[in-house]
Structure 1
C-alpha cells in the first residue's frame, strides 16, 4: 500500500490529524493495535481548552460537543474549609473551557472518519516504523499472520507512551525527562448529579480531591491515594466517606452518592521526550509527553501537537515549504514544557506529600490564599487553565 501520511494510533490525536489531512486533500492511513470498540471503552479526561474546541470546530466535528458539552466559565479551589471561585471568563477576557469527555471526542472523530471513507486498519499486530531517517519511510504490520507494508512520505506517532514510534528511535538520538509522584488518584464514575455545576479542586490535610463531571447526570470524582492501595480495597461506601471528609461541609452536605460503574487508580507522573521529530517520524501526544491530570492538559497538549504538525504537513504539500515541519519539535516543546510546569505546580500546590508536614501544609495554604486574593496570581492560573495560545 501507499499513502502520503501513515498515522500510528487511533486515539483522538491520530483521528483529529487524519480528519484535518482529509480536509486538506492529503491522503492518510491510520493503524491501531486494537479495535475501535476497545478505544471507545477508555475512560479519559474531559476538560477541553479553548484551542481544542477551536480545532474540533475546524475539523467539522463539534456539533454534538456544542449541543451536549458543558461550557465552564470558572472552577472552585477549596482549602482550610473554605471555597473560592476562580472566574476564568473575567480573568482571561471572556475565555472558557468545555467539559466534554475524551471518549465522546473520539466517538465523534471515529464517526467522521467513517463518513469520510478514509482508511483505518485495526487489530494491526507488531506495527513498526522503518527508514524514517531517509527519504522513503514505511510502516509494517501483521494481520491474520500476514505481514503488510505501507510506503509513505511521513510517519506520525500518535500511539501513546507504550507505542512503537518512540521505541523505534535510537537511544542516543532522544533525551527523556521524567518525574514520578509518590501517590495516585483513585477515580470513580457514577450516574449521579454532580455536587457542583463547576469543578472543585480540594486541598485537605487528608489529601487532594477533585469533583468533576461528564454530564448533568454523570459525575467523575477523585481522591488522592497511596500507590500501594488496591481498587478492591475501596468500596463505594469507603470512597464516598473519604471524599466527604476532604470537602468543605457545605459541599459535602450536598453530595449525591450512588453505585459506581467504573473505578480505577492512576499513578501520577510527568514525562517529556526531546526532540519530537526524527527525520520523517514525528511524535504527537502521549508518545512524547505525559502530565499529571491535575492541570487538565493531556488531551489538550496532544491537540496542540496536531496543530503544529498539521501546519507543517499542509505547507509541505500545498506550499512546497519545509519551514513549519523543521520548526515542529521546537514549537511543540515550548508549549509542552509550559504545560508541564503548570501541571507540576498545580500538583505540588494541591496534594499532600509524605514530607509535607504541618509546615508544608501551611505553605500550601498560604500560597492558595495568595492565589485567590491576588488578581495577578489568579489571572496567571486562569490563563494557563484555559490554555496558552498556539
Structure 2
C-alpha cells in the first residue's frame, strides 16, 4: 500500500490535515489506534478561535458549527466574586471565539471523510515508523493479528502525547521542555442551562473555578483540585457547593444544579518538543505540545499546525519547493511558544499554588486589579485569548 502522506492519529490534527490535503488533491491515509466511537466520544475543550472557525468554513464543514456554535464577544474574570469583563470584540477589532465542543468538531470531520475520499484505517495497533530520515519512509501496523505496511513520501505524527511519532526522533536531536502543575481540574458535564452567556474564570482563595458551556442547555464546570483527589471524593452536591462558592454569590444565584453525566479529573502540564520536523516526519498537535486548558489553546494550536503543514506540502507537490517543509518547525514553534506563554500566565493568575503565602496572593490580586483598570492589559489578554493572527503563505 502506498500514499503521499501517511497521517498517524485521527484526532483533530490528523483529521483536519487529511481534509486539507484532500482539498489539494494530495493523497493521504490516516491510521488510528482506536475506533471512531472512542475518538469521537472523548470529552475535550470547546472554545474555538477564529482561525479554527475559518478553517472549518474553508473546508465547508461548518453547517452545524454556524447553526449551533455559541459566538462569544467577551469573557469574564472573577476575583473573589467580583467580575471583570473583557470585551474581546471591541478590544481586538471584532475578533470573537465560538463555543462548539471538540466532540462536535470530530463528528463533522468524520461524517464528511468518506464522501470526500478521506481514508481512515481504524484499530491500527502497534504502529511503527521506519526510515523517516530517508526519502522512503514507511509505516507498519497490526490489525486483527495481521501486519500491514504503508509506504509514503511523508509522515505526519498527529498521534498525541503518548503516540509513537515523537519517540521516532533520536534523543540527541529531540529537546523537550515541560512544566507540570501541582493540581488538576475536576470537570463535570450536566444538562442544565449555563450560568451566563459567556465564560467565567474565577480566582478564589479556595482555588480556581470555571463556568463554561457546550450549548444553551448543556453546561461544563471545572474546579481546581488536588492531584490526590478521586472522582469518587466529589459527589455532585459537594461539587456544586464548591463551584458556587468559588464563582461568587452573584454568579451562584444563576447556577442551575443538576445531575452530572460525565465527571473526570485532568492533570495540567505545559510541554513542548523541538524540533517539530525530522527528516520526512512532521509533528502536529499534542504529539508536539501540550498546554494547560486555561485559555483553551490545545485544539486551536493543532489547527494552526496543520494549516502551516498543509501549506508546506502543497508547495512541495505543486511548486516543487521544499521551502515550506524546511521552515515548518520554526514557524509552528513560534506560534506554539506564544500560546504556551499565555496559557502559563493565565494559569498563574487564576489558580492557588501550594505554599502560596500572603505576598504571592497579593501579587495575584494586584495583577487582576491591574487588568480591571487598564485597557492596555485587557487588550493584551483579549488578543491572546481570541488567538494571535496566523500568517499565511
- What is the correspondence of 1:20-39 to structure 2 with a 5 Å cutoff? 20-39=20-39
Q: Deviations over 1:33-69 (max 9, x none)?
A: 0000110110000000011111111111111100100
2:51 aligns to what?
51
Say whether 1:134 aligns with 2:97.
Answer: no
Aligned-pair CA distance for 1:358: 2.1
SS at match of 2:382: helix
Say whether 1:5 aligns with 2:5.
Answer: yes
SS at match of 1:197: coil
1:300 aligns to what?
300
Aligned-pair CA distance for 1:254: 1.4
Q: Do 2:31 and 2:124's aligned partners in 1 also have CA atoms closer than 8 Å?
A: yes
Q: Do 1:157 and 1:283's aligned partners in 2 also have CA atoms closer than 8 Å?
A: yes
Say whether 1:160 aligns with 2:160.
Answer: yes
SS at match of 2:204: coil
Measure, in 1, the Cα distance between the counterparts of 2:148 and 2:331.
34
1:318 aligns to what?
318
SS at match of 2:120: strand
Provide TM-score, normalisation by structure 1.
0.99
- When the two chains are superposed, the root-mean-square deviation of aligned CA atoms in Å is 0.7
- What is the correspondence of 1:119-268 to structure 2 with a 5 Å cutoff? 119-268=119-268
Measure, in 2, the Cα distance between the counterparts of 1:184 and 1:106.
25
Say whether 1:16 aligns with 2:13.
Answer: no
Aligned-pair CA distance for 1:117: 2.8
Bigger drift between 324-333 and 166-175 goes to: 166-175
- What is the correspondence of 1:339-354 to structure 2 with a 5 Å cutoff? 339-354=339-354
Measure, in 2, the Cα distance between the counterparts of 1:130 and 1:57.
36
Q: Do 2:80 and 2:247's aligned partners in 1 also have CA atoms closer than 8 Å?
A: no
Q: Do 1:270 and 1:292's aligned partners in 2 also have CA atoms closer than 8 Å?
A: yes
Measure, in 1, the Cα distance between the counterparts of 2:110 and 2:336.
26
Measure, in 2, the Cα distance between the counterparts of 1:80 and 1:2.
58
Q: Do 1:80 and 1:365's aligned partners in 2 also have CA atoms closer than 8 Å?
A: no
Provide TM-score, normalisation by structure 2.
0.98
Measure, in 1, the Cα distance between the counterparts of 2:295 and 2:132.
34
SS at match of 1:94: coil
Measure, in 2, the Cα distance between the counterparts of 1:50 and 1:111.
22
Measure, in 1, the Cα distance between the counterparts of 2:68 and 2:144.
40
2:364 aligns to what?
364
Q: Do 1:191 and 1:260's aligned partners in 2 also have CA atoms closer than 8 Å?
A: yes
Measure, in 2, the Cα distance between the counterparts of 1:115 and 1:383.
37
Aligned-pair CA distance for 1:135: 0.5
Q: 1:117 to 1:68 in 2, by over 3 A?
A: same
Bigger drift between 341-350 and 54-63 goes to: 54-63
SS at match of 1:107: helix
Bigger drift between 274-283 and 111-120 goes to: 111-120
Measure, in 2, the Cα distance between the counterparts of 1:124 and 1:166.
18
Q: Do 1:40 and 1:103's aligned partners in 2 also have CA atoms closer than 8 Å?
A: yes
Q: Do 1:80 and 1:204's aligned partners in 2 also have CA atoms closer than 8 Å?
A: yes
Measure, in 1, the Cα distance between the counterparts of 2:183 and 2:221.
16
Aligned-pair CA distance for 1:167: 1.1
SS at match of 2:67: helix
Say whether 1:69 aligns with 2:72.
Answer: no
Measure, in 1, the Cα distance between the counterparts of 2:236 and 2:140.
45
Q: After TM superposition, what 4+ stretches of structure 1 lie above 2 angstroms from structure 2?
A: none
Measure, in 1, the Cα distance between the counterparts of 2:134 and 2:216.
51
For structure 2, the 5+ residue unaligned runs are none
Measure, in 1, the Cα distance between the counterparts of 2:23 and 2:250.
50
Bigger drift between 214-223 and 163-172 goes to: 163-172
SS at match of 1:26: coil
Q: Do 2:80 and 2:246's aligned partners in 1 also have CA atoms closer than 8 Å?
A: no
Bigger drift between 235-244 and 109-118 goes to: 109-118
Measure, in 2, the Cα distance between the counterparts of 1:321 and 1:188.
48
The size of the alignment, in residue pairs, is 390
Bigger drift between 313-322 and 356-365 goes to: 356-365
Q: Do 1:155 and 1:282's aligned partners in 2 also have CA atoms closer than 8 Å?
A: yes
